[in-house]
Each structure stands twice: as C-alpha cells, then as structure tokens.
Amino acid sequence: MGKVLLIGAGGVGTVAAFKVAQNSDVFTDIMIASRTKAKCDAIVKAIGNPNIKTAAVDADSVEELVALFNSFKPEIVINVALPYQDLTIMEACLQCGVNYLDTANYEPKDVAHFEYSWQWAYHERFKEAGLTAILGCGFDPGVSGVYTAYAAKHYFDEIHYLDIVDCNAGNHHKAFATNFNPEINIREITQNGRYYENGRWIETGPLEIHQPITYPNVGPRESYLLFHEELESLTKNFPTIKRARFWMTFGQEYLTHLRVIQNIGMARIDEIDYNGMKIVPLQFLKAVLPNPQDLGENYEGETSIGCRIRGIKDGKERTYYVYNNCSHQEAYKETGMQGVSYTTGVPAMIGAMMFLKGLWRKPGVWNVEQFDPDPFMEQLNKQGLPWHEEFDKDLEL
C-alpha cells in the first residue's frame, strides 16, 4: 500500500520499525535512516527482514534530507529522531512532496521551550502542497489526544476537566536512568510546571504541585504536575475545556538524583569551556548515563497512561477514565525495547497506517485529535496497546 521512511534509530525508532514491519500489508516498502547507519542495520538484523533498506542521514540538513527523499521517494516520513529535527524534516517534505508524522513538538536546541507555533506555522504551506502533517503521534502526546477526541465524540457534549495521568511503575534496577533520550527528558522535567484554567495558563515552580493518584493494577503513586505539549493543542481544539492538567509519577530516588544533577550544573544546556573545548553539560551527562535502549532486559512492572475526563452529557455531569497499561517485559520480548519506547513507537506506526489507508489524510498541519479517533482506537487494541474504560467513578482529581 505505501512506502515509509523512518528517521531515527533510537528506542522509539526500533519499536516503530518492528511494528511497521509487522504490518507489511500496509507498509510495502520500508527504509530506516538515521545519523548512524550501523544502528539502522542493527534494527534490520533484529527484525530479520533483509528487504528493509537503511541509510545514513543528518536530519539537521535539509539538503541531505532532500537528496534521500528524492532517491527513496517515500509517501510518508515517520520522524522519531529528536525534536530539534522537526522543522528541517518538514521543510524537506515540502520540497519533495512527502507527508509527515512526528511524536514530539519542535524545540530549539538552545532553549527548552515547548510550543506548537513553529510547526503550526507550516499549515498553509502543507495545505497548498496537498500534503498531510500529523503532529504528536506517540502516547503522550498522541494517544492522549486520540483518547480525548474519542471521549468528545462518543461520551460528552462538553468536556470541562481533563487530566492526563502518566505513571511509570516500572523498575529498571539502575540508580538513575531516563526512559527516553536523557537530554530531551531532563529538559522537559526541569521546566516550570504549567496548566490551563479558565482561559489562561497558570505557571508553577518545577514539580511544585503533586499528589497521590491511584493507577489501575499499580496503586497510589505520587504524581507531579508538568507542562506537556498536548495541553496546548487540546485546549485549543476542545474550547469547552475549563481546566487541563498533566501529571507524571516520579520516585523519590529519581527526584533526588535530578535535584543533585541540577544543583551541580549538569542540567545546563548552554555551552561551557572545558579544556579549550566547548561542551554542553547536559549532552555530556547523556553520554555517561545508561542508554534508555539498554534498560529493557531487566525492566519489570508496567506503565499506566490515561485520560481522566469530567464533563456534561445530556445535561448531566459524568466522568470517564480511559487508559492503557503496558508491561515493560512484554514490550521487551516483542521488540527488545522497554515500555516507554513501545508506547511511543506503536502509535507512531498506527498514525502512518491511518494516513496510508486514507483515513487520516487532509492537507495541512494537524494534531492527532483533529482526525477521526475510531479507526486509531481500533488499531490500538490490535497492535499491542489495548485500552480500558471506566465510567462515573471518582477521578481523584
């Protein structure tokens, strides 16, 4: 049915490649490209399908991307490199007539700032070119937006309160490690918190607001309010929302390490002089931390991510909770990667599948909640991320 080019050969890229290869009726021609070709070749070897092509590409260079797109001629690019490359890849897509999907919004390298404005600014150009760009198609953002769209479509006349709750109840048996790219992860968590209430954004100190939340099959876990990019698009696309917040669990050990890392300056993202060389402390830290891709083997436990929603249906208040629990060990058995990479890579594949099947195809730049959630929800159940619903229960929030 279609030709797909995956960019990025990290944890998420590996899972997305496995899932794309499993759905060969939809993805008939596959290429994996990344900065280090050897990593792409290793993925192909692990999958065991020699028909998958690989290539080296520096995705910071529009010129290199254009040359690659013109030689492989993909219909859609799944961008699971880093958020820094979003705009160069979108630019190359426009130059070559290729559709686009990613899992994280663009971030400039020199300032940790999360907003969609840079990518939304491409809307008219994609529209004029007749190309579709699907933004934020991992789990959160991604499935969190699809869950919300599904709730709005089937269960609510108006959504008023939205809480996205993200629990990783896994144990990788390391003193400190991040579950995806450490640089991107630490930039996100050390930011001020922010949530939406009554038409405005309220800023908090980093991890200042927290409370225990009970997760299915896990129990109560301390959960911290963070800003997360889907809050921006969801409050725009569902204007009845009065309050939207994002919560993530962290263990005490993790938070202690994080505080020390910050206090000693290792979370800095500006360049410093070291022995006549310029280095960025956070990038140096990444080089000495465990590689998130190597966590899978000893990872126990599961993730539990969902949306807790309160609103009105037929004049009556109701609550709705929709979630997925994903086992790190099951993810590892299937793809060699842990649950956080799995919960991101599977939805990225499903988004590209939606596009190739013609179900999510409209010229312009869109967030996932702007498409029909039903076929995506159906695929989540088939592709390893089954979801569960609870109605009219106490949401705790």
Answer yes or no whether residue 103 interacts with ligand NDP by CB under 6 A.
yes
Distance (Å, rounded) from C-alpha 58 to C-alpha 80?
13
At its nearest, how many Å lie between ligand NDP and the CB of residue 31?
13
At its nearest, how many Å lie between ligand NDP and the CB of residue 318?
27
- Residue count, binding to ligand NDP (CB under 6 A): 34
Cβ–Cβ < 8 Å for 218, 302: yes
Of residues 151 and 340, the one with the C-beta less far from ligand NDP:
340
How many other C-beta atoms lie within 10 A of the C-beta of residue 219? 10
Q: Which of 23, 85, 119, 304 binds ligand NDP (CB under 6 A)?
A: 85
User: Do the bridges between strand 193-197 and strand 243-249 make them parallel or antiparallel, or are there none, so unpaired?
Assistant: antiparallel
At its nearest, how many Å lie between ligand NDP and the CB of residue 35?
4
At its nearest, how many Å lie between ligand NDP and the CB of residue 337?
9
Distance (Å, rounded) from C-alpha 96 to C-alpha 138?
25
Answer yes or no whether residue 233 interacts with ligand NDP by CB under 6 A.
no
Q: Measured in whole angstroms, how far is the alpha carbon of residue 172 from the centre of its chain?
A: 20
Answer yes or no whether residue 81 interacts with ligand NDP by CB under 6 A.
yes
Give residue 101's identity as a one-letter amino acid code. L
Q: Which residues 6+ apart lie within 8 Å of 301 measured at CB?
A: 168, 169, 170, 171, 218, 327, 328
Of residues 34 and 233, the one with the C-beta less far from ligand NDP:
34
Residues from 271 through 300 that contact ligand NDP (CB under 6 A): 292-293
Answer yes or no whether residue 372 interacts with ligand NDP by CB under 6 A.
no
Q: Which range in 54-62, 145-153, 266-274, 296-304 contacts ligand NDP by CB under 6 A?
A: 54-62
Q: How far is CA 133 from CA 32, 102, 290, in A?
A: 19, 8, 33
Answer yes or no whether residue 373 interacts with ligand NDP by CB under 6 A.
no
Question: Is the preceding omega at residue 141 within 30 degrees of 0, hence cis?
Answer: yes
Of residues 293 and 310, the one with the C-beta less far from ligand NDP:
293
| Ordered alpha helix ranges (H), the chain | 11-22, 37-47, 62-72, 86-96, 117-120, 123-129, 143-154, 182-189, 230-237, 252-263, 281-288, 328-335, 339-356, 373-382
At its nearest, how many Å lie between ligand NDP and the CB of residue 55?
10
Of residues 59 and 133, the one with the C-beta less far from ligand NDP:
59
Of residues 41 and 58, the one with the C-beta less far from ligand NDP:
58
At its nearest, how many Å lie between ligand NDP and the CB of residue 343?
7
Q: Which residues 6+ apart lie within 8 Å of 187 measured at CB?
A: 107, 112, 269, 282
Q: How far is CA 174 from CA 177, 212, 299, 328, in A?
A: 6, 24, 10, 15
Strand ranges (E), 265-327: 272-274, 277-279, 302-313, 316-327
Q: The tokens 């939207």 sit on which residue?
A: 244
Give the 3-state secondary structure of residue 391: strand
At its nearest, how many Å lie between ligand NDP and the CB of residue 36?
4
Q: Which of 5, 12, 76, 282 binds ligand NDP (CB under 6 A)?
A: 12
Distance (Å, rounded) from C-alpha 335 to C-alpha 347?
14
Answer yes or no whether residue 8 interacts with ligand NDP by CB under 6 A.
yes
At its nearest, how many Å lie between ligand NDP and the CB of residue 252?
23
Answer yes or no whether residue 162 interacts with ligand NDP by CB under 6 A.
no
Answer yes or no whether residue 54 interacts with ligand NDP by CB under 6 A.
no
Q: Which range in 91-99, 138-146, 210-218, 261-269 contacts ligand NDP by CB under 6 A?
A: 138-146
Answer yes or no whether residue 339 interacts with ligand NDP by CB under 6 A.
no
Distance (Å, rounded) from C-alpha 248 to C-alpha 146?
19
Answer yes or no whether residue 139 interacts with ligand NDP by CB under 6 A.
yes
Answer yes or no whether residue 115 interacts with ligand NDP by CB under 6 A.
no
Answer yes or no whether residue 60 interacts with ligand NDP by CB under 6 A.
yes
Residues at the interface with ligand NDP (CB under 6 A): 8-13, 34-36, 39, 57-60, 80-83, 85, 103-104, 138-142, 180-181, 184, 292-293, 340-341, 344
